[in-house]
Amino acid sequence: MKAHMITYGCQMNEYDTHLVQSQLVSFGADLVDSIDEADFVLVNTCAVRGKPVDKVRSLLGQLRKIKAQRPLVVGMMGCLAQLEEGQQMARKFEVDVLLGPGSLLDIGAALESNGRFWGLQFKDELHEHIPPSPTGRLQAHLTIMRGCDHHCTYCIVPTTRGPQVSRSPDDILRELDLQLAAGVQEVTLLGQNVNAYGVDGGARLAGYPSFADLLRMVGRSGVRRIKFTTSHPMNFTEDVAAAMAETPAVCDFVHLPVQSGSSRVLRRMAREYSRQEYLGHIAAIKKHLPNVVLATDIIVGFPGETEEDFQETLSLYDEVGFDSAYMFIYSPRPGTPSYKHFADLPRELKTERLQRLIVKQKEWSKLRNAGKVGTVQEVLLRGDAHSEGFLEGHTRGNHPTVVPRAVGADGAGMYPVLIGHSTPHMLYGQIVGADGQPLPEIPRLEPQAAALSSPLQMA
């Protein structure tokens, strides 16, 4: 069998795609790079907003057309598959295999079923399953928990991914050991709410460390860089900031979604913290980590959000000075409390607020990135950038970074980089040697064309 997977959504979905791909390979499938080459296409879906749902709908429409012309098995997995909305779509577009986020290990049974297979249960075996490490990659994801015990009124995830289940520290460390043996240098610990690790259904699990202690444990493994996502401010404790400060491998990078700067809106979102409490967490983080890089998620145009509420989001942005933000227009999701109980605001109003927020975000990202110019950053280079002769990667603070290939440093690896130039979304620099001087660049094949497309030439 030739299998092709297409992934929408978050890093959790990327992790799950890798998990299912490794299962497919163990069942004898070849992984191929395009729909054209495949006889099994599996779409890993996201349901968090209307847009990713629309994308899946149109992809399934295309796949149905291909299916009418040649034999093709179509599968759908992930968050949308768990919802009635996704299942209706699956029926309409003649999807053969449907796997919810808790049923991924049913992929073998699905392949054997030779026809329609729907798996929608949340199965415990998934939490103990340790996928093989991705080969040839310096970065890896590591799921430490699945599901979510919060009930933010806008969010479909507790429905799609079920209640929180923490993985045992032994399984986590075992998976990490495999990743280290495969050459991984940066691991990102994943969960819907990593700060609540080890406290499932409100009760601490015997033998499970707190998230802060898990960071300390992972820090002793020898991995060079540790990142984590995502944190819920409600479960944030100062001990996490302390653990970050005392564990050298943990990067000074915190993604702490605020969603709104207005306590009134936060209450309606059922976020369980106020603006002041959020700012208190930021102050604690900055106390322990003065050079921390801060990122957030913000939803604009939540039902009932007034101009004053929105102004509070803008002023909170200034108070924190986030390095970056993921910004979303509120999207009413069927099945969520806010969809049921609140009226959606007009689209133009939401769009206009998003645009104003993007202006704010760009100002801060520009300022923050400009502050890196002249500094040496440790950059994990992944490989070729879009422009010929350049490599791309990211810093400990998650800044995307581009450098020219240099003599002795022409591929993936961890390198010190002297930052020479920045934009709101990118750092540009040169790899430096032990003497702190930039290594000589490798001459490009077509110097003129390359110079034109070189990001270093951009204003």
118 CB contacts (<8 Å, ≥6 apart)? Answer: 87, 90, 97, 98
Asked if residue 297 binds ligand 5AD (CB under 6 A), the reply is yes
Work out which of 48, 194, 295, 385 binds ligand 5AD, going by CB under 6 A: 48
Stretch that binds ligand 5AD, among 117-125, 282-290, 326-334, 407-415 (CB under 6 A): 326-334
Cβ nearer to ligand 5AD, comparing 190 with 417: 190
Cβ nearer to ligand SF4, comparing 230 with 387: 230
Work out which of 328, 364, 390, 428 binds ligand 5AD, going by CB under 6 A: 328
Cβ nearer to ligand 5AD, comparing 19 with 325: 325
Asked if residue 238 binds ligand 5AD (CB under 6 A), the reply is no
- State in angstroms the smallest separation of the CB of 158 from ligand 5AD: 11
Alpha-carbon 300 to chain mean position: 20
Instruction: Render the burial of 329-364: b for 16+ CB within 10 Å, e for the rest.
Output: bbbebeebebbeebeebeeeebeebbeebeebbeeb
Out of ligand 5AD, ligand SF4, none, what residue 46 binds, judged by CB under 5 to 8 A for its kind, is ligand SF4
- State in angstroms the smallest separation of the CB of 328 from ligand 5AD: 4
CA distance 275 to 256: 13
Spatial CA neighbour of 80 closest among 55, 112, 47: 47
Out of ligand 5AD, ligand SF4, none, what residue 259 binds, judged by CB under 5 to 8 A for its kind, is ligand 5AD
Out of ligand SF4, ligand 5AD, none, what residue 59 binds, judged by CB under 5 to 8 A for its kind, is none
- State in angstroms the smallest separation of the CB of 153 from ligand SF4: 15
Work out which of 18, 146, 275, 333 binds ligand 5AD, going by CB under 6 A: 333
Asked if residue 255 binds ligand 5AD (CB under 6 A), the reply is no
CB-side neighbour CA atoms (13 Å) of 422: 23
Asked if residue 259 binds ligand 5AD (CB under 6 A), the reply is yes
Helices (H), 93-190: 107-113, 125-128, 157-161, 169-181
**DSSP bridge partners of 290:** none
Out of ligand 5AD, ligand SF4, none, what residue 160 binds, judged by CB under 5 to 8 A for its kind, is ligand SF4
Cβ nearer to ligand 5AD, comparing 48 with 419: 48
Cβ nearer to ligand SF4, comparing 189 with 417: 189
- State in angstroms the smallest separation of the CB of 161 from ligand 5AD: 12
Q: Name the CA dihedral angle for 27, 30, 33, 37, rounded to a multiple of 10 degrees.
A: -110
CA distance 99 to 221: 34
> Between the CA of residue 270 and those of 151, 161, 280, what are the distances in Å?
7, 19, 19
Asked if residue 45 binds ligand 5AD (CB under 6 A), the reply is no
User: 3-state class of 83 per DSSP?
Assistant: coil
- State in angstroms the smallest separation of the CB of 83 from ligand SF4: 10
Count of chain residues binding ligand 5AD (CB under 6 A): 12
> Between the CA of residue 168 and those of 124, 305, 379, what are the distances in Å?
12, 41, 31
Cβ nearer to ligand SF4, comparing 165 with 432: 165
Pairing outcome for strands 400-404 and 390-394:
antiparallel
Q: In the block, which residue shows the tokens 């108070």?
A: 319
5's tokens: 């997977």
- Applying CB under 6 A, which residues contact ligand SF4? 9-10, 12-13, 46-48, 78-79, 157, 160-161
295's tokens: 């990122």
By the criterion CB under 6 A, which residues form the site for ligand 5AD? Answer: 48-49, 154-155, 257, 259, 297, 299, 328, 330-331, 333
